[in-house]
Chains A and B, each alone.
Chain A
Amino acid sequence: MTNHWTDIANADVILVIGANPAENHPASFSHITEAQERGVPLINVDPRFTRTSAKADIYAPIRSGTDIAFIGGLTKYVIDDMADNLHNYNMTYVREYTNAPYLVNPAFKGPVDLDGLFSGYDATARKYDKSTWIYQLDENGIPVRDMTLTDPQCVFQLLKKHFSRYTPEMMSTITGCPQNKFLEIAQTYAATGKTGKSGTIMYAMGTTQHTNGTQMIRSYAMLQLLLGNIGVTGGGINALRGESNVQGSTDHCLLWHILPGYLKVPIDTDVTLAAHNLRATPKTNDPLSLNWWKNYPKYMVSLLKAWYGDSATAANEFGFHNLGKVDKDENYSWIPLFKNMFEGSIKGLLVWGQNPAVCGPNATQTRQAMCKLDWLVVAELWETETAAVWKRPEVNPADIKTEVFLLPAACSYEKEGSITNSSRWMQWRFKAVDAPGDARPDLDIINDLMKRIRTLYQAEGGPNAQAITDLDWDYDSHVDPRQVAKEINGYDLTTGKLAVSFGKLKDDGTTTSGNWLYSNSYVEEENLDDFEKANIDVMFPGPEYVGNRATRRWVDVGAGGYSAADGYKEVGLSNYWAWCWPVNRRIIYNRASVDLDGNPWDSEKPVIAWDNVARAWRGDVPDGGAPPMNQGGYYPFIMKSEGHAHIFGPGRADGPFPEHYEPWESPVENPLSGTQNDPTFKIWSGGLDVKGTPDQYPIVCTTFRNVEHWQSGQMTRNLPWLVELVPEMYVEISEELAGEKGIESGDDVRVSSARGQITVKAMVTKRLRPFTIAGKTVHEVAMPWHWGYMGLSTGPSANVLTPNAGDANTMIPEFKAFLVRVEKA
């Protein structure tokens, strides 16, 4: 989230698209309800009428996978309305804070000119040559801007041209959303463009899990920029993370292509640390751009020092060569991982807190892949489908040669540590009870494993053994999570004290930090601020936690941010509740919430404000401490090398503007262009990687989660109270489709895709309706994906049907739109 949970209550309009917070983020609804009772409209756009839709003031159905057509229509509405009602929009924000005025290379062409493609496409490689996706530069190498936004090559005009095709008629043809619903939403949401108004967009996996999911999110972010909704209270682009600590695990490099703090994984051409830093550190010639990532080398060296300690020296490039280097252009995410396993090149797998046998796409192939392993280790609370993959119903266990180890793990209440929630808040959790039996905290399991592996490498050596043997790894048999949290924060090695913040990290080996973004989360008592020192006993739960800011639980809302005495409304920044990355900044890009003089656009609900007398910022921790732009400050989007937010986003694989493409499996031909699918996502083949066609599989299917069950279900399908609520796997079917097929609620129905088939109960409901797409009736059905063959409640897995088709930028699988056939069983 750019903003945070509490801040949702500050919005003037809430748009929930590709998410179902009532069911998947139930606690968030206290903030939504608070806003609604002030008269704030809740808009919900979703293929299914969900429990969130039930609470919405305006609900609009769209066919799965057509978000860009819908948001593109909204964007066109806003751009057109800007021409007629300029005073309703904050054009200073658009001009000064985004790249809308930037002039783009005249050789750049877009889908209007190229039938759905951008310039530079190589159809064989399914890849773009992006050499035309560049700005025009002046003699100093600084992008040229047209502050009138009228030059036909400026980003704003290119955007206008790009979305000119997204008329209400075209929007409706693609999405199936009635035009009157769309216009009601467009009018309501566009009103947040007025200076001082804000709208928030809440999204989740309904948006990301598409072959062009990244571009869908881009379309939301761009709309927010046009409306001046980024950086302000009640605004932002807010990802509702699906697990309590998924933000934390992403920050700490859950994903293959990043190191902690979103540093880049070295590639084979990074022959030296210097070469790596050169590639990874963005540059700017513009003195007004702070370009925060220029500090990259400091964070990289501090990370290496945290991992390799004394053995990391300037002479050995701080142990840089201990890091694995991935092949350039190769992808190591979920789909290729399991594909390689299926093809036999991966021999062993450690599975921690996840259940691939149920949660992965193309589940049959995923299960077969795991049964080709030599060994499989699962650390879990229960014997999950993954741990039991060798004895799953359709196989003879004697045929499976994989050796499976099940390590009992402690659950969240049985161990201490931190989680980072969607708001980027690092919150400490204490242990409530001992884990049963031999179950141990993950930290202790990994510590034990690592020590044994190190002993083996020390004794026997092996390829790149130094990467293991040189590690600075000195934990007791029980790891103290506070020691780890301190290492993540980092140290100043010259004093031996905890690092104060990432601003003090260095690239000379004198500082450490396991994750630069978390530097400032755990400090020495002497480095606490005055307010913390004055309230030290209330702020921290005990002397052994002083300085651990994740443990802070200060609920007096007046204590942080603004108080009534400042003449401002409290906006719920909660500065002293837990700790928030970066440097406790609660709303990121908050310098875009003020005008060029530092005055808040919204004087009622400011994030920050410049105090001209004290010559200091009030409120949230500002993005960089420099004064306002008119007094020598920097452009507000400090993480972008140019300092301006990207309406034109040349970094993406599949185009600088979002374009509607159909899902990989779609019942219709793309009504917008001759380019059917996202042109750059990877198409897999072999095994069960087959594509279904609409003549055989005419019905759109999407997957979802219930509030009663969680993820792959191992935690909830074993709880009798929750099993009682939703005891069986089912498929939601509209009354119209059920009528055609002679299906009634409670009937067994067979749902099949090109990958497999499952038999489940039919839930016939008015909450799904057929769509009219390009004049044709298109049915959509929906299934929860919580079930599998282990636990108290068992049932078929929806993911037996889903395809291995991943997003062009992130490779997240397209769980949310694929084709099936539905028959009465």
Chain B
Amino acid sequence: MPKGLLIDTVRCTGCRGCQSACKQWNLLPGWGEAPSDEYDTSFSPTMTNPPQLNAYTYNHVEFYEIPKDNGEISWHFIHTRCLHCIDPACVSVCPVGALQKFDNGPVVWDQTRCFGCRYCQNACPFDMPKFQWEQAWPKIQKCTFCWNRLEEGMEPACAKTCPPNAIEFGERDELLARAHERIRNNPDKYYDYVYGEHEAGGTSIMYINAVAPEKLGLNTDVKKESYPDYTWEFLSKIPVEIAAIAALLGGTWYFRKKRLEGKASVTSGKEAK
């Protein structure tokens, strides 16, 4: 059964434990440790830091000060990261199969295969895959859904660390039901919408919020159907030479590596090491 995460920003206290725990589990660089000092943060007037999701930050908490109608202030905290689409566009466009969708939910990239074409970046309706621009051999980076923790029967690091249980891990179906139930039980506290239920045909990561999702930076222009169809349309507009070169490069790389035995199983979710 596909897993999911329900992110309840009404519960979230903005402690950023998820952002730090993500870095800890994935051994991502912090201040002064990234390959380029461009990643070293400075004072942030909003608290949000680093300013955006980047190749070394897979989980990014953003702060929104929103004035209320009565003149009082409300303050919202939401973390962005790959939503792990049920039918991911990135997987469908990757010429070398570096991105895989596991049956249990995660959309995982294989660093050894990625050759940096960035098709996934263009294809992703949520703008989540990030690129290591400063690297000689740059790779795509994004949230892994802690697939390697899931394999060991553990929940993702972000969910494990969250003090107010604002990040809940479980079966996607059950989480979806829980999301609707919580909205139903607290209609005054929740905006009646589960973001991720239908976006891009449905995502593994879903959000419920106090306000309309677009107020918290969630892209509500995303289509409600799965994206691979659209991405084929998009790809068809790419000059055929580029597509051919990409395919050729990818193919060459693929055969040269002769990694037939390393072919990631898209059914078990146990592979891709």
A residues lining the B interface (CB < 8 Å): 22-23, 26-30, 32-33, 37, 49, 51-55, 59, 707-708, 719-728, 730, 745-746, 761, 763-767, 792-793
Contact = CB atoms under 8 A, between A and B. Distances in A.
Contacts of A707: 14-16
B20 A722 contact: yes
A53 B13 contact: no
Contacts of A720: 29-33
Contacts of B72: 59
Given A30-B164, A746-B43, A767-B65, A722 B30 contact: yes
A765 B65 contact: yes
Given A33-B164, A49-B75, A724 B14 contact: no
B76 A724 contact: no
A722 B30 CA distance: 8
A51 B165 contact: no
Nearest to B22: A721
Contact of A727 (B14, B23, B31, B182): B31
Contacts of B29: 720
Contacts of B44: 726
Contact of B13 (A29, A708, A745, A767): A29
B168 to A, nearest CB: 12
B267 interface: no
B24 interface: yes
A724 B30 contact: yes
B145 to A, nearest CB: 20
Given A51-B15, A727-B43, A792-B31, 20 more contacts: A28-B163, A30-B164, A33-B165, A37-B186, A49-B75, A51-B77, A53-B75, A719-B30, A721-B30, A722-B20, A723-B31, A724-B41, A727-B40, A727-B42, A746-B43, A746-B45, A763-B45, A765-B65, A766-B65, A792-B32
6 contacts: A22-B15, A27-B163, A724-B40, A727-B40, A746-B45, A763-B43
Interface in B23-39: 23-24, 29-33
Nearest to B12: A55
B219 to A, nearest CB: 23
Contacts of B226: none
Contacts of A793: 31
A764 B31 contact: no
Given A707-B15, A767-B73, A745 B45 contact: yes
Nearest to B10: A55
Nearest to B32: A720
A51 B24 contact: no
Contacts of A55: 13
What are the nearest 8 A-B pairs in CB distance?
A: A720-B30, A745-B45, A54-B75, A721-B30, A22-B13, A723-B31, A724-B31, A728-B43
A659 B102 CA distance: 65
Contacts of B163: 26-30
B262 interface: no
Given A724-B50, A727-B49, A728-B42, A54 B15 contact: no
Contact of B17 (A26, A54, A59, A767): A26
Interface in B92-148: none
A724 B74 contact: no
Nearest to A768: B73
Contacts of B270: none
A746 B77 CA distance: 21
Contacts of A727: 31, 40-43, 49
A494 B20 CA distance: 54
Nearest to B65: A766
A54 B43 contact: no
A767 B75 contact: yes
A788 to B, nearest CB: 17
Contacts of B11: 33
A735 B30 CA distance: 32
Interface string B55-77: 00000000001010000111111
A724 B73 contact: no
B45 A725 contact: no
Nearest to A728: B43
Nearest to B47: A726
Given A725-B49, A727-B42, A767-B73, A54 B20 contact: no
Contacts of A52: 13
Q: Which residue, of A27, A721, A761, has the highest number of chain B Cβ atoms within 10 A?
A: A721
Contacts of A23: 13, 15
Contact of B14 (A54, A728, A766): A54
A405 B16 CA distance: 36
Contact of A725 (B16, B40, B75): B16
B16 A708 contact: yes
B49 A724 contact: yes
A30 B47 CA distance: 23
Most buried by A among B20, B72, B163: B163
Nearest to B186: A37
B19 interface: yes
Contact of A54 (B16, B31, B40, B74): B74
A365 to B, nearest CB: 28
Nearest to A723: B31
A26 B43 contact: no
B248 to A, nearest CB: 40
Contacts of A761: 43
Among B13, B65, B74, B165, max chain A CB count under 10 A is at: B13
A182 to B, nearest CB: 15
Contacts of B42: 727-728
Interface centre among A29, A719, A728 (most CB of B within 10 A): A29
Contact of A22 (B14, B45, B50): B14
A728 B47 CA distance: 11
Contacts of A708: 16
A37 to B, nearest CB: 7
A132 B67 CA distance: 53
Nearest to B72: A59
A49 B16 contact: no
A720 B11 CA distance: 27
B16 A51 contact: no
B80 to A, nearest CB: 15
A764 B75 CA distance: 15
A726 B42 CA distance: 8
Contacts of A32: 164
Contacts of B16: 707-708, 725
Contacts of B47: 726
Contacts of B31: 720-721, 723-724, 727, 792-793
Contacts of A33: 11, 164-165
B220 to A, nearest CB: 23
A586 B76 CA distance: 35
Given A27-B163, A30-B164, A765-B65, A730 B74 contact: no
A237 to B, nearest CB: 23
Nearest to B17: A26
A26 B20 CA distance: 14
B30 A723 contact: yes
A721 B20 contact: yes
A761 B44 CA distance: 9
Contacts of A767: 65, 73, 75
Nearest to A59: B72
Contacts of A54: 13-14, 74-77
A26 B41 contact: no
A760 to B, nearest CB: 9
Contacts of B165: 30, 33
A731 to B, nearest CB: 11
Contacts of A726: 44, 47, 49
Contacts of A763: 43, 45
A728 B40 CA distance: 12
B210 to A, nearest CB: 10
Nearest to A181: B72
A51 B30 contact: no
A53 B73 CA distance: 10
A53 B14 CA distance: 12
Contacts of A49: 73, 75
